[in-house]
Structure 1
Amino acid sequence: MFESIKDQIKNVKKIVFVTGAGISQESGIPTFRGKDGLWRNYDAMKLATIDAFYENPRLVWEWYNERRKNIFSAHPNNGHKAIAELEKLRDVVVLTQNIDGLHQKAGSSKVLELHGSIVKIKCTVCDFIDEMMTDFSESPPLCKCGNILRPDVVWFGEALPQDVWQKAIIHANQCDLMIIAGTSLAVSPANTLPMYAKQNNALLIEINPENTEMSSEMDLIIRNTSANILPEFISLFKEN
């Protein structure tokens, strides 16, 4: 399946991965869309909003507490591990929409979390931000300033952290190869990253069982999962 690009990747030096919920789903972490996106009959896509949080912060915190337990019990799959292994052979940067930290657990050292991290918390009012070291006795938990704490994640309708986003654009502009794995590219602005890579004449590869918003822009499309395909793909670089 890689014959068409075998010659093109010989001189690739910098590889950027854009990853989404699909790669983590293979580690047992549910996605927001489809039947996996339901929690106690609530639509997860509606819970992950600032409006839902202010309307019922206790409910949203309960959901995130359960998500956190699920994420902490999950392990990196062969897709995560293959990306980390590729660091030994090329300059690799991961731009992920996932908040679960599985890329870092697998050993990837250059990871930009576009949508934040579930292990971090921040205040809704003051500038307090920290890692969540333990479960809170109260729900919703309160900051030392007396205001409600929230997960340090980007909810639907919120802007991405600008420092992280600017770095992501720079990496996308500089790469020779971009691999889009396990993301539908339906969420903005992360779905514009392939366009930045294309401006640099980078090779674009999509690994996803289903069609995405930008499949027509790809140089190679592989209709399979990351855990199945990436270990085989990495072997190409070991040959060169």
Structure 2
Amino acid sequence: MKKIVVLTGAGISAESGIQTFRDADGLWEGYDVMEVASPQGFEKNPKLVLDFYNQRRKQLLKVAPNEAHLALKNLEEYFETTIITQNIDDLHERAGSKAIIHLHGELLKVRSTKISRIGAPVILDWKKDLKIGDKCINGHQLRPHIVWFGEAVPLLDRAIEITQEADILIIIGTSMQVYPAASLVNFIKDDTPIYFVDPRPSISKNAFNNLTIIEKTAVEGIPELVTQLIKTN
């Protein structure tokens, strides 16, 4: 069975009603990203950071997977499919996809601010508001389970390993400017087919060998691409 790796970014979730991570002026829904997405911001004003993610969490619970999320799930019947996402939402999971790597963390999880004696933070599922004073079993304050600017990406090595094995790479709704996630495309085998789905593609047709650019939104382009791949499998 061929292996497909799907790299998804904010564009696929935007069509479900989730605002994109940041725009050209470095703001995230009116906030300076360094105030709400960095260890320094959390140390300076933890209440602001917790309130920010509480609002994001409430928003996430009100939206649903779109046609692109649902189409990607169908790939699993014909290919060994892994989704590597930069998104912190759970829309791929709710659409039914099974193998998902969240490079930047998960909004519906929280973790302790300090590691335990075994060298790992306590990670909990979390759907309600997170407040100052909410602590793990070891007595440490809980924080969003998000990879902030300046922090290591724990699952990057695993994502690289999977990308190296890909027979087909699909890139959806990402600017390919956020590193280290954007570097994954450099780990595919020579001449691996790449499908880049974005209404405003940020790469040229000559950027990679065997590249197909689909200038459509995820909802428009992904169901068509999935149907094509299944037919030609």
TM-score category of the 2 structures, normalised to the smaller one? 0.7 to 0.9
Distance 1:110 1:60, change over 3 A: same
CA gap of 1:132–1:159, structure 2 versus 1, over 3 A, is same
Question: What pairs with 1:76-225 in structure 2 (closer than 5 Å)?
Answer: 76-126=65-115, 127-136=121-130, 138-139=131-132, 141-161=134-154, 164-197=155-188, 199-212=189-202, 216-218=206-208, 219-225=211-217
Q: Give yes or no for the alignment of 1:74 onto 2:67.
A: no
Q: CA deviation at 1:151?
A: 0.6
What's the TM-score once normalised by structure 2's chain length?
A: 0.88
Counterpart amino acid of 1:54? Answer: E
Give, in whole Å, the separation in 2 of the partners of 1:82 and 1:236. Answer: 12
Q: How many percent of aligned residue pairs carry the same amino acid? A: 38
Bigger shift: 101-110 or 206-215? 206-215
Output the CA distance in 2 between the equivalents of 1:74 and 1:37.
22
Offset at 1:212?
A: 2.1
Q: 1:140 to 1:190 in 2, by over 3 A?
A: farther
In the alignment, is the contact (CA less than 8 A) between 1:79 and 1:230 conserved in 2?
A: yes
Please identify which structure carries the higher helix content.
1
What 5-or-longer segments of structure 1 have no aligned partner?
1-11
Whole-angstrom distance in 1 between the partners of 2:17 and 2:57: 13
**Structure 1 outlier segments of 4+, above 6 Å:** none
Scaled by the length of structure 1, the TM-score of the pair is 0.86
Distance verdict in 2 for CA 1:214–1:140, change over 3 Å: farther
* Aligned residue in 2 for 1:21: 10
Paired AA for residue 128 in structure 1: V
Unaligned runs of 5+ in 2: 116-120
Aligned pairs, how many? 224
Q: CA shift at 1:149, angstroms?
A: 1.3
Q: What is the CA–CA distance in structure 1 between the aligned matches of 2:83 and 2:205, rounded to whole Å?
A: 20
